[in-house]
Each structure stands twice: as structure tokens, then as C-alpha cells.
């Protein structure tokens, strides 16, 4: 038996990886999607080192909603808790969806740890913002009780197209699911998107409300105790209170030092990016009227 074959049988690799080592001329299922292959293989060191820690996980945290609403901020603050690891933009649902060979619980959890270490190594910077929070447990944990991934908009769109993935996720993680939905004034969300992508200038409103329908679909698949909605504006004005409630929802305690450190990191007031671009009156009216169709957007206006 070759050294490579012995190594493949010793390490906790998926079956397709063993096939690749033993039959290098074949193209097994593992290699048909470069994303899942790269994530699985790069996560192996974390799988070896932290496999025992996965048995203490009590909750899986999933984000839904729209991009540019504050998900990155909330996810980074949660990641600073010593009993939580919430990776930034791993796209865990894509990992489950695209894998030709099913992803196990330990493989998913190790991929989350790998992405968290990767993001920490890159300085925790994203879209010109720094999410490096001094004085928190980012990049490490004491006892791993909550694990998850922050990919709000992408996860919502994927679940809207493939709702059966929610069942796949439940089966894979085998712990209670807790879903976080961060909501922001739709005009600020759209303005932030338009400043980043030209395509949102023409189709942004339709894309926003199409994804709002996806949010509704996902919410209907959840039990009442599985969904926590928070408004970005309320989170900024009362970080300590809202974050404490969110931690309780996820099943962990939040001490005063952790809460105060997080509150100091958050800016003093929400940014109203809607004033950075031009709008026509008809568009403002259309967005305000359409928003009232969703209870979690009701009450928002341009003013």
C-alpha cells in the first residue's frame, strides 16, 4: 500500500478524496465543483484539531435577508463571543448544495472554522469596513456551543430557489437551527447596493422585493422560536440590549464586558445612505407602498 493511500485512509477524508488518491486518473465527484473541493480540503487541519469540540455544539446559526443591511456587523460581533464561531461569507448552503458527495457535520463545521481563520488572517476587512474587534474572542473560542455562517443575501436567494436545502442543513448539523434576520430601511439598503453595482440602478427595486419574497418563504418554513428579527437602526441605537437578546436567543450568556466592548465598536448612529444618491418621486412612492406588504418593512419611509 502506498504512503498516499495510507494517508488517505488515516485522515478523515470523504470517500471521493480517497478515490482520488487511489485512482488519480479518474475525476471523482469531489473534484467536479472547485468550491466544495477547495473548502473541504483546506478545512482538513481544522477537522483534525477540533473534531472533539464539535460534540459540544448546541445550535447552528443561519443568516437570512438582504445584503448591505448590517449582517456583517452582527455576525462579527457574535463571532467575538467566546462560545460562538460565525464565519464570514463561507456560503455554507452552497457547500451543501454543490457537493456531489454529501458534506458531513464535521466537514461543514471545520469549513466554518477554516473560513473564520482565513478571514481573521486577512485582517477582517470587508467592503472598506474593518470588522476586527479588539478585546473579543474573534479567531478563537473557549467552548464551542454555537456555530454558523454569515451569508444573508446569498443564503436567502439559494433557499428561495432550493427550499429543500433547509432540510438538508437541519439533517447535516443535527442541532437546533436559529435564524437571524437583520432588517434595514429599504432605501438605505438599495442606495448602498446602487453605489456598489451599476446593475442595481435599473433593476434594484425588483431584485430587492424578489428577495423579500424569498425571506417570506424561508420564514414560513421556520418555527416561531427559530427566527430572530432585528432592525439595524435599533441595533445601532441599543447595541447592548439587542445583542443581549440575540445571545439569549442563540442560547448563550453575554457578560457585561463582552456587551460593552461590542457597543463601543458600533458606530453612534445608522448611516442613511439613501441621501447619497438621487431618487425620483415615483420610485420613492413605489418602494414605500410595496414595503407595507411585508410586516418587517412596515413603517419604513424615505424621510
Domains for the chain: give ranges and CATH numbers: 38-291 (3.40.50)
pLDDT at 172 exceeding the cut of 50? yes
pLDDT at 257 exceeding the cut of 90? yes
The three-state secondary structure class of 62 is strand
For 104-117, what is the mean pLDDT? 97
Q: Which helix (H) or strand (E) holds 98?
A: helix 92-98
Instruction: Tell which phi-psi region holds residue 68, choosing left (phi > 0), alpha (psi between -120 and 50) or beta.
Output: left
Closest CA to 145 of 78, 57, 86: 57
pLDDT at 17 exceeding the cut of 80? no
The three-state secondary structure class of 182 is strand
Q: How confident is the model at residue 101 (pLDDT cuts 50, 70, 90)?
A: confident
The three-state secondary structure class of 218 is helix
pLDDT of residue 20: 45
Report the C-alpha gap between 139 and 133 in whole angstroms: 11
Report the C-alpha gap between 50 and 47 in whole angstroms: 6
Q: What percentage of the chain has pLDDT greater than the value 90?
A: 80
Predicted confidence (pLDDT) per residue in 36-61, tens digit: 888 888 999 999 999 999 999 999 99
Could you tell me if 84 and 139 are in contact, meaning their C-beta atoms sit under 8 angstroms apart? Answer: no
The three-state secondary structure class of 82 is coil
Q: What is the pTM of this model?
A: 0.88
Q: How confident is the model at residue 27 (pLDDT cuts 50, 70, 90)?
A: very low
Instruction: Pick the more confident residue, 18 or 60.
Output: 60
Predicted confidence (pLDDT) per residue in 285-295, tens digit: 999 999 999 99
Predicted confidence (pLDDT) per residue in 212-232, tens digit: 999 999 999 999 999 999 999
Sign, CA dihedral 118-121-125-131, equals positive
Predicted confidence (pLDDT) per residue in 123-159, tens digit: 999 988 999 999 999 999 999 999 999 999 999 999 9
pLDDT of residue 35: 78
Report the C-alpha gap between 250 and 75 in whole angstroms: 12
Phi, psi of 158 (to 5 degrees): -65, -40
Predicted confidence (pLDDT) per residue in 161-171, tens digit: 999 999 999 99
Q: How confident is the model at residue 8 (pLDDT cuts 50, 70, 90)?
A: very low
Closest CA to 18 of 36, 35, 38, 41: 41
Report the C-alpha gap between 135 and 123 in whole angstroms: 15
The three-state secondary structure class of 64 is strand
Q: In 13-27, which positions are buried (b, 16+ CB within 10 angstroms) versus exposed (e)?
A: bbebbbbbbeeeeee
pLDDT of residue 128: 84
pLDDT of residue 197: 74
What does the mean pLDDT of the chain come to?
A: 90
Amino acid at each position: 500500500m502506498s504512503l498516499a493511500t495510507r494517508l488517505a485512509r488515516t485522515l478523515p477524508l470523504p470517500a471521493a478524496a480517497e478515490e482520488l488518491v487511489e485512482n488519480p486518473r479518474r475525476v471523482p465527484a469531489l473534484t467536479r465543483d472547485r468550491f466544495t473541493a477547495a473548502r473541504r480540503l483546506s478545512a482538513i487541519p481544522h477537522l483534525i484539531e477540533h473534531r472533539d469540540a464539535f460534540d459540544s455544539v448546541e445550535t447552528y446559526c443561519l443568516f437570512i435577508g438582504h445584503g448591505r443591511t448590517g449582517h456583517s456587523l452582527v455576525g462579527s460581533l457574535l463571532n467575538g463571543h467566546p462560545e460562538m464561531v460565525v464565519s464570514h461569507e463561507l456560503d455554507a448552503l452552497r457547500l451543501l448544495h454543490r457537493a456531489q458527495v454529501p458534506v458531513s457535520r464535521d466537514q461543514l463545521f471545520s469549513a466554518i472554522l477554516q473560513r473564520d481563520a482565513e478571514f481573521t488572517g486577512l485582517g477582517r476587512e470587508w467592503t472598506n469596513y474593518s470588522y476586527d474587534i479588539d478585546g473579543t474572542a474573534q479567531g478563537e473560542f473557549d467552548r464551542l456551543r454555537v456555530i454558523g455562517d454569515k451569508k444573508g443575501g446569498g443564503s436567502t436567494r439559494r433557499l428561495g430557489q432550493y427550499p429543500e436545502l433547509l432540510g438538508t442543513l437541519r439533517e447535516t448539523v443535527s442541532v437546533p437551527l436559529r435564524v437571524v434576520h437583520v432588517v434595514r430601511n429599504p432605501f438605505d439598503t438599495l442606495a448602498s447596493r446602487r453605489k456598489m453595482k451599476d446593475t442595481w440602478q435599473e433593476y434594484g427595486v425588483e431584485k430587492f422585493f424578489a428577495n423579500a419574497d424569498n425571506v417570506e418563504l424561508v420564514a414560513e418554513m421556520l418555527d416561531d422560536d427559530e427566527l430572530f428579527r432585528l432592525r439595524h437602526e435599533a441595533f445601532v441605537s441599543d447595541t447592548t440590549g439587542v445583542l443581549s437578546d440575540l445571545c439569549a436567543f442563540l442560547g448563550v450568556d453575554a457578560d457585561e464586558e463582552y456587551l460593552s466592548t461590542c457597543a463601543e465598536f458600533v458606530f453612534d448612529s445608522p448611516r442613511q445612505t439613501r441621501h447619497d444618491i438621487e431618487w425620483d418621486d415615483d420610485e420613492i412612492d413605489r418602494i414605500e407602498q410595496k414595503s407595507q406588504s411585508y410586516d418587517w418593512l412596515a413603517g419604513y419611509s424615505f424621510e
